[in-house]
Structure 1
Amino acid sequence: MLVDGPPGGYRLVSSEDGVLIEAHDAEGEMNALQTLRQLLGPGAFRAAGDKPQVIPACEVVDHPRFAWRGVMLDVARHFLPKREVLRWVELLSAHKLNVLHLHLTDDQGWRFEVKAYPKLTEVGSWRDDSRFGDRRSAGMKGRPHGGFYTQDDLREIVAYAAARHVTVVPEIDIPGHSQAAIAAYPELGLHGGGVWSDWGINERVLNTEQSTADFYKVVFDELMDVFPAEVIGLGGDEAPGHDGELVRQIARHILRGGRRPYGWDEVLDSGPLPAGTVVASWRGVEGGITAAREGHDVVMCPEEFVYLDYRQSDSPDEPIPVGTVTTLEDVYAWEPVPAELTGDEPGRVLGAQANIWTEHLDSARRVDYAAFPRLAAFAEVVWSPAEKDPGFVQRLREHHLPRLDALGVEYRPLNGPHPWQRLPGVPGFPR
């Protein structure tokens, strides 16, 4: 049954007569079912075993604050097998998050099968080594790393996510972070070289030849054939010395394909952007403010609040500590809409996403540790009204951490890492 209100909204009534759900739309129905699961308690989050049968009598009327409630998962630096991506879809759905942004390519690996250019995965999907810890002082692991998703794999992920009302947004990064592609097809680059085994900003970027733009138009055509999402990521970040014309060409190509280009906030520096471009503001909030004032839609993801690979405390026990300290409380206190936006400008903020870069997260267990429980705080920020609940941490401890336990999520305990979650002797680069 439909109810009035914003998309994704619902009304749930529990009484002696049973449970009544009224939803604005199909996504609202899914959100209501996730609320019902929460009311049933931690046992409802287990894959098997006795399920709870009793829930409290209540009425819940709710809807999301933002349309874009996302997570960027970097599967380029360290590949996550398909089963782990499917698991992440489940985790997003359980937290009423509805966008999974997959960072599919970078200097360190190409993860998307392109039938027109098979060497992108034959050559570009693996590297012969990986830095273990910060590049300024750490050694190497001494073993290859790689993997990629076939187009059938990705169609399966897309369908699995769609059934849970999660949109999968793909990203092919250009013109920087492209060494894996250049290793496969050297004519794309200004310099040669293999798939990169280090971290940081690589000075080797794509060249500005028209043939390179034509190459990537074919790549994006295959990407758009696999991913039905309205928004298609083209990167655009950290490309030293590049003039931006390739970004503009691919942005226009995406628009001609009936989609919307989505780039990191450096795309604002590449010249006038085509109408319809969506900007991800990661270098603070300034990019988002500029984009909104120029008439572009914005996804807020400033590194100081929602980069979940950043260290969670200043304790020496934090494994491979990088970035600034970003605590659970910091994430929860964040407000996604900059106060500087006025008039109609706040309406340009589609929502926000948390970014999980994986240079130093080389397994699903390490990703769990970095993401949770901070991702639970983020989920509440993008769902709920701007006012904060002083009881959030207590609710998390008493009610939600047991749900994560039931799901098998290896989160960071509130009082610091377990002994087996530490990596003593592996240097980071804290700021």
Structure 2
Amino acid sequence: MAPYASDDSTTGGEVDERNSRRRKAARYVVPVTVVGVAAATIGLVPALADSGDPDLPKITAEQLIQKIAESDTERFSGTVKISTDLGLPNLGGLESGLLSGAAGGGEGGGEGSSSADPTAKLTELASGTHTLRVAADGPDRQKLSLLENAAEYSIVHNGKDVWAYDSKSNEVYHGTASAGPERDKDRQPPATPKDFAEEALKAVGDTTSVTVDGTAQVAGRDAYKLLVEPKQSGSTVGAITVAVDAETGTPLKFTLTPSSGGAAVVDVGFTQVGFARPAASTFDFTPPKGAKVTEEKDAGKDFGKEFGKDFGKDFEKGGARGHAEKAPKAGAGLGDGPAGVNTIGEGWNAIATFDTGGEGVPSGEAAGQFGGFLDSLGDKVTGEFGSGTVFSTRLINALVTDDGKVYVGAVTKDALVKAADAGK
């Protein structure tokens, strides 16, 4: 029988009164439930068996995090879709050139450069939507292919060799994988949901709410959904959702949504995945006839660190505790960066600050047309600190004061101004 059904003897007035009482009760129950979930920390909120499709056993957030940590998946193959929407202005391709140049991609196209250089090519994933084919067979064999229009870019790590091939230009980049205690970590294939999830989970602490938010199917596999949310106000991070394979504990999908709402800033997920050992031939590579081959020592270490650490961590640590604490390393591969980086605040509200030792963003007549261009990309702000310009994305914001101080973090514009005022 349907709930709340009435028998024939019930009058219309009684039904209306009963429905009214239920609506009033619902108004009180819903907010209490929401508050309870928001206040919960690790291990307090289990997934309900009927909270989604598929129907999986109950599990706590603590157990699910442990399941991720204990996941020993080293062999897999599949297709990954990665979408990134930082809300950067359209610079007509200029931003791609700047990113590639900053990443050391061929030293601006000079002698010895290669369009197959991974440190330049993988910066393309910092915007737009891309499809990747990935495969791994332990720490010594991985392959990643970036599928493009009528072209393909691949990175193949097989033993001591790392090869990168750009079919569009028919160029090959060859290097030797890194060695030492960090070797296996550096060789992990970048751009998988697990790469992102591991960094995001470093945010877990007193400033973070972690719950299990039901279940889902990802790439045809049953998964739990882990929800990570800042407890602090002022962060640009709204929530992080990680879909975790119920059988293996492998993260299948990572989604970061901003506190401002709208589309995800980062959405990385398998659309197809299997955990059988890939064929050994998957990791074979021979430079095509006529291809230009550029040699670079330790290219394997570069692509693993440059992308896996810089790209993945920069986005995920945008709200994670430790983002600003590791700020001196955040630009690895982008140059040494400024010295004397300090941290203001903690958790999701951590702000990295440093002094450039010079003037801030030029303005007025001294700036000329270039200054006007910069002004169009930022917002002028004032406070007790003086004045400056805030450059914003949907996740990371930076305040550059007129006297050359920089404040940057995954926080709102107001939070940056308050930090600058406090540091005055």
Query: TM-score if structure 2 supplies the norm length?
Result: 0.21
Which one has the bigger strand percentage? 2
Which one has the bigger helix percentage? 1
Query: TM-score if structure 1 supplies the norm length?
Result: 0.21
Larger Rg belongs to: 2
